[in-house]
Structures are given as structure tokens and as C-alpha cells.
């Protein structure tokens, strides 16, 4: 794209960023010195799925969010510099329900030995001892065969399989191997034990079993990045819809946006897109039929976040509870006040439940009150009865919580990705853009990589970008 209206003497390239989630914000932050940056966001605030907001004075996130010490050094250093003393290093203090018992999460060796039901622990040891003799899957690989081969039946059947069924709404044999690569960092029982050993005093690094969390909620990271980018000249357009992106001969020529004042046309040297690749494809003028079809078949999993407001200082001492069992539809529950340990406000706490579901499932159309009643019922079934006054329940719905790596998704993704990658004047990245099941620090790393590939004229070094893409493909999700 060439901006004919650019004033003479202005030699910085003009870059338009779609989406003000962590990926878009980090790109704006990294590029403002070298480019004139405009960020287009349909929501009223920045932060995407990593934003925070108050619920009755309690700062809440879109489900449990932690900033992981595994972040790339450059990313971590920037977040530390941006937040200063507001970035807390907190001990992880969660619980997981396995075999009807509560076990500390992340797993701790002594706790697991003492609390795991004996038959479960024996069967785990049996899986480890018998691994070399276990018959390996000889058919096509899926998430389920890779986990069975690596971890054995006990942990697969009791933890991973029901958990992924709940998260993705699909059986594990309908999910691709990629999910295991992205999601299961410890591919054998031996590796899980090594991870537990690394948490023992004396063997522990400064950050093992800990996470970074901002004093004012996870969204403070995005807010700080936005402020810094804005101070350096980036322009942010919120509540703004993209209505069309024009292309001619595989070259982006401009885009149309609509806000409260109406529609207008923008041009620039480069568009960086972090919005879902499916929506992006629909916005660009006339994709070929095979791209339209592939994009239509790519799925994201939705999620309802339930915020139950309780009139008490604290409900539990734990940051998060994990529920692999299928009898409870929620996958995780967090108590936001326990993340920054502020204890504020007094006399009030919030429980946040993550309910993975799609818009065609019954939960999606239920009222907040009905969902609050269900949540309270599930807590009772889990042995966590709510005995304090409930003020009310409010909810948020995410349409793009997780990419769905179902069997055959790679071919569909590649068809769309290739078409978008061949488009001059466009670079796509971020969790939604690259259909990547990853963390916030990965979204930042992608943005920094993108900034590193753009020259002073707003052109992209595609060969360099392809090298970065190979690195992004090795990202593993931290839970």
C-alpha cells in the first residue's frame, strides 16, 4: 500500500495494526520509534483475552492468567521495566482433583506421594516401569496415541483425556498430535517426576513454582505497553470495526473502518494483523474458493467466564483449582484476589470459573443468574459448598478462547496461511492470527520478531520471518 496523502518530509513508514491484544500492543510498542503506528481495535479497551476489569471492586482477568518466568529474556526484561515494583513474583498455590483427592498443583513430590490414592500412585509407577514393554501404537498418530505411548494409561485416562474432552469438546482421538506438542511439555512420567524434583528446596531455581503477576491485574501489562506506545506516538482507535480490506493482484491497497462517526478509508505501507485469521480472510477482497472453504472449517473454542461475587474476605487460600473430571463442566476456578494477595476490597471476593463451550451449547444462552446457580451447585459437588451470601453472578463470553487442533486442521490452516502469507503489504501473527495455542509472552515474542523483520520502508523480510515462524512453532504452553 502507498499512502498518497503522506506529508512530504515524513519518512517513517505508516503501519496499521489490527487488534490491540498483547500481540498488537507489543508490535505497536516495538515499532513506534521506527514507524507511524495506528492500532485498530473493535473492543473499547486494549488487552484482548489478557485484559483485566473490575467486578464489584475486585480486579478480575479472563480466567486464570499468570505471566510465566519462561518468557524470552527480552520480553521478560521489558515487562519488568514497564511495571517496576508493580510486578510481583508469587508462589503458585493451586489444587487439582485427581481420583477424588485434592493434590497440590503444580505437583509436589511429597504431597503427591502422601495424597494420591494408593491404587492411582501404584498404577502410575507401573506405567513407568512397563513403558519399555508397552506395545506402541502402529496406526495414525493422534493426541490420544501420543499420550498413551509417552505417559501411559493412568495419567492419560484420569487427567489429560477428560480434561481435553472438556476443553475442546472433542474426544482425544479426534485431536491432532500438535496439541500434545503444544500443551504437554512433560511427555513422559519420568519428565513429570523431574519437574517435581526441581521444586524441592535446594534444587529449586528462584522462579521454579512461581509466576509473575502485576499488582493491578494481568491487564496491567497490556495497559503499560499501550501507554508506552501511545507516549511514543502510536494512535489507538477503539470501538472501531474493520469493514473491508482491499487487495489487487495479491497486494493490499487499503482498508475501510467504521466507528461512531461513520466509515472511512485508510492506507499505509503495511498492515500487521493479529485478529483471527478466519475473520481476516472474510474481510479481504475475494479469496479463492478453496481458501474460503478452508477458513470456514477452521474452528476456535469458546468459553464463558463466570464471576460469582461472594460477601466474604476470602473463599479459599488457593489461587486456582483444576477439575479434570467430566462430571463438572468447568475446567478451572480461580480466586482473583489471591493472585496479587492485596486482600482488597474487604468483605468481598470473586470466584472465576472457566466453562469451555461453543455458542451452540446450552450454557451460551443461559442467564447470569442461571449460570450462577449451576456454578454454586458444582462447587457443592466438589466439596466446596458456598455457605456465605452470594451477591450475584456476572459473565463474560469469549468467542476465540482456544484454537481447535482437530484432525486435519493443519491442511486447512496451511491453505489459509499460505494465501495470507503471499499477500504483499500484510503480515499476520499473534495467537488468533497464527492459530497458535500459546501464552501472552509468546504473543509478545511474535510481535518483536515481526518488528525485527520490517525495514525503514515498511517492507517485510520474508526469509527472516520464515525463520521466526520456525521458532514460534516450537512454543509450548505453560499452564
Ligand X SMILES: Cc1cc2nc3c(=O)[nH]c(=O)nc-3n(C[C@H](O)[C@H](O)[C@H](O)COP(=O)(O)OP(=O)(O)OC[C@H]3O[C@@H](n4cnc5c(N)ncnc54)[C@H](O)[C@@H]3O)c2cc1C
What residues make contact with ligand X under the rule CB under 6 A?
18-24, 40-43, 48-50, 62-66, 68, 242, 274-276, 279, 303, 354, 398, 400-401, 430-432, 438-441, 443
Pairing type for strands 262-266 and 251-259 reads antiparallel
Tell me how far, at minimum, the Cβ of 290 lies from ligand X, in Å: 23
- Whats the size of the chain, residue-wise? 479
**Closer CB to ligand X, 177 or 445, in the complex:** 445
Minimum distance between the CB of residue 100 and ligand X, rounded to whole angstroms?
A: 25
Closest distance between ligand X and the C-beta of residue 330, in Å? 11
DSSP, collapsed to helix, strand or coil, labels residue 141 as coil
> Of the two residues 17 and 128, which places its CB atom closer to ligand X in the complex?
17
Cell numbers at residue 233, please?
506516538
Q: Which is nearer to ligand X, 315 or 444 (CB)?
A: 444
Q: Least distance (Å) from ligand X to the CB of residue 46?
A: 7
For the bound state, the minimum distance from the C-beta of residue 408 to ligand X, rounded and expressed in Å, comes to 23
Cβ atoms of residues 394 and 309 within 8 Å: yes
- For Cα atoms 43, 45, 47, give the angle at the middle one, nearest 5 degrees: 100
Cis before 38 (ω within 30) = no
- In the bound complex, what is the minimum distance in angstroms from residue 255's beta carbon to ligand X? 10
Cβ 305 to ligand X shortest distance, Å: 7
Of 21 and 162, CB closest to ligand X: 21
Q: Which is nearer to ligand X, 148 or 402 (CB)?
A: 402
**422, 250 contact by CB (below 8 A):** yes
DSSP assigned state of 157 = I
| Cβ proximity to ligand X, 88 vs 109, nearer residue | 88
Residues 6+ apart with CB under 8 A from 358: 169, 301, 302, 364
Q: Which is nearer to ligand X, 198 or 397 (CB)?
A: 397
Other C-beta atoms lying within 10 Å of the C-beta of residue 305 = 21
CA 441-25-244 angle, to 5 degrees, is: 120
SS3 for 291? helix
The smaller minimum CB distance to ligand X, of residues 25 and 189, is found at 25
CA dihedral 437, 354, 359, 174 (to 10 degrees): 50
Residues 277, 295: Cα–Cα separation, whole Å? 8
Give the nearest distance from C-beta 148 to ligand X in angstroms.
27
- Residue-wise DSSP of 1-15: ---TTPPTT--SPEE
**C-beta of 311 vs 452, nearer to ligand X:** 452
- Pairwise CA distance, residues 27 & 242, whole Å: 19
Closer by beta carbon to ligand X, 64 or else 340: 64
Dihedral sign for Cα atoms in the order 184, 187, 193, 199: negative
| 466: Cβ contacts below 8 Å, ≥ 6 apart | none
In a 13 Å sphere around the CA of 18, the CA atoms on its Cβ side amount to 30
**Nearest CB to ligand X, comparing residues 124 and 284:** 284
Task: Return the number of the residue (35 or 242) whose C-beta is nearest ligand X.
Answer: 242
CA-CA distance, 24 to 214, in Å (whole number)?
20
CB of 182 to ligand X, least distance (A): 12
Q: CB 431 → ligand X: shortest distance, Å?
A: 4
Q: Which is nearer to ligand X, 124 or 179 (CB)?
A: 179
Q: Hey, what long-range contacts does 114-123 have (CB within 8 A, 24 or more apart)?
A: 120/154, 120/158, 123/153, 123/154
Cβ 222 to ligand X shortest distance, Å: 8
Residue 169: asked if its preceding bond is cis (omega within 30°), the reply is no
User: Three-class SS of residue 258?
Assistant: strand
Instruction: Identify which of 146, 149, 108 has the alpha carbon closest to the alpha carbon of residue 127.
Output: 149
Nearest-approach distance from CB 312 to ligand X, in angstroms: 25
Q: Give the residue closest to ligand X by C-beta.
A: 21
Residue 51: CB minimum distance to ligand X, A: 8
DSSP bridge partners of 349: 310
Rg of the chain (C-alpha set): 23
Amino acid at each position: 500500500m502507498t499512502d498518497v496523502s503522506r506529508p512530504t518530509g515524513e519518512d517513517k513508514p505508516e503501519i496499521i495494526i489490527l487488534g490491540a491484544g498483547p500481540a498488537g500492543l507489543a508490535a505497536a510498542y516495538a515499532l513506534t520509534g521506527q514507524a507511524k503506528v495506528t492500532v485498530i481495535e473493535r473492543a473499547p479497551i486494549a488487552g484482548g483475552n489478557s485484559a483485566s476489569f473490575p467486578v464489584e471492586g475486585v480486579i478480575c482477568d479472563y480466567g486464570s492468567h499468570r505471566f510465566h518466568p519462561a518468557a524470552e529474556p527480552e520480553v521478560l526484561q521489558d515487562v519488568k521495566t514497564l511495571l517496576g515494583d508493580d510486578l510481583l513474583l508469587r508462589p503458585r498455590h493451586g489444587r487439582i482433583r485427581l481420583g477424588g483427592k485434592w493434590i497440590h498443583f503444580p505437583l509436589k513430590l511429597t504431597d503427591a506421594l502422601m495424597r494420591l490414592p494408593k491404587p492411582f500412585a501404584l498404577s502410575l509407577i507401573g506405567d513407568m516401569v512397563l513403558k519399555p514393554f508397552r506395545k506402541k501404537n502402529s496406526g495414525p498418530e493422534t493426541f490420544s496415541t501420543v499420550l498413551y505411548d509417552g505417559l501411559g494409561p493412568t495419567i492419560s485416562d484420569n487427567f489429560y483425556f477428560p480434561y481435553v474432552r472438556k476443553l475442546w469438546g472433542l474426544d482425544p482421538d479426534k485431536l491432532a498430535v500438535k496439541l500434545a506438542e503444544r500443551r504437554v511439555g512433560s511427555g513422559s512420567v519420568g519428565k513429570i517426576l523431574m519437574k517435581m524434583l526441581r521444586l524441592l528446596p535446594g534444587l529449586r531455581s528462584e522462579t521454579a513454582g512461581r509466576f509473575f503477576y502485576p499488582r493491578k491485574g494481568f491487564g496491567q501489562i497490556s495497559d503499560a505497553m499501550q501507554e508506552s506506545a501511545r507516549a511514543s506516538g502510536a494512535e489507538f482507535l477503539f470501538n472501531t470495526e474493520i469493514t473491508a480490506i482491499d487487495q489487487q493482484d495479491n497486494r493490499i491497497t487499503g482498508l475501510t473502518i467504521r466507528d461512531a462517526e461513520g466509515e472511512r478509508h485508510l492506507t499505509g505501507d503495511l498492515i500487521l494483523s493479529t485478529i483471527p485469521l478466519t475473520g481476516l480472510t472474510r474481510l479481504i477482497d475475494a479469496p479463492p474458493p478453496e481458501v474460503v472453504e478452508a477458513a470456514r472449517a477452521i474452528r476456535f473454542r469458546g468459553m464463558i467466564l463466570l464471576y460469582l461475587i461472594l460477601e466474604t474476605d476470602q473463599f479459599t487460600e488457593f489461587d486456582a483449582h483444576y477439575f479434570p473430571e467430566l462430571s463438572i463442566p468447568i475446567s478451572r476456578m480461580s480466586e482473583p484476589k489471591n493472585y496479587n494477595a492485596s486482600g482488597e476490597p474487604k468483605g468481598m471476593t470473586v470466584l472465576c470459573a472457566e466453562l469451555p463451550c461453543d455458542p451452540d451449547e446450552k450454557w451460551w444462552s443461559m442467564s447470569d443468574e442461571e449460570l450462577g446457580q449451576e456454578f454454586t451447585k458444582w462447587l457443592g459437588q466438589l466439596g466446596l459448598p458456598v455457605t456465605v451470601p452470594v451477591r450475584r453472578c456476572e459473565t463474560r463470553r469469549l468467542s476465540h478462547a482456544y484454537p481447535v487442533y482437530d484432525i486435519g486442521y493443519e491442511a486447512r490452516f496451511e491453505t489459509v496461511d499460505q494465501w495470507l502469507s503471499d499477500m504483499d503489504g500484510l503480515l499476520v501473527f499473534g495467537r488468533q492470527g497464527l492459530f497458535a495455542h500459546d501464552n501472552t509472552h509468546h504473543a509478545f515474542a511474535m510481535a518483536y520478531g515481526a518488528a525485527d523483520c520490517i525495514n525503514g520502508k515498511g517492507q517485510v523480510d520474508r526469509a527472516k520471518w520464515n525463520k521466526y515462524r520456525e521458532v514460534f512453532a516450537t512454543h509450548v504452553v505453560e499452564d
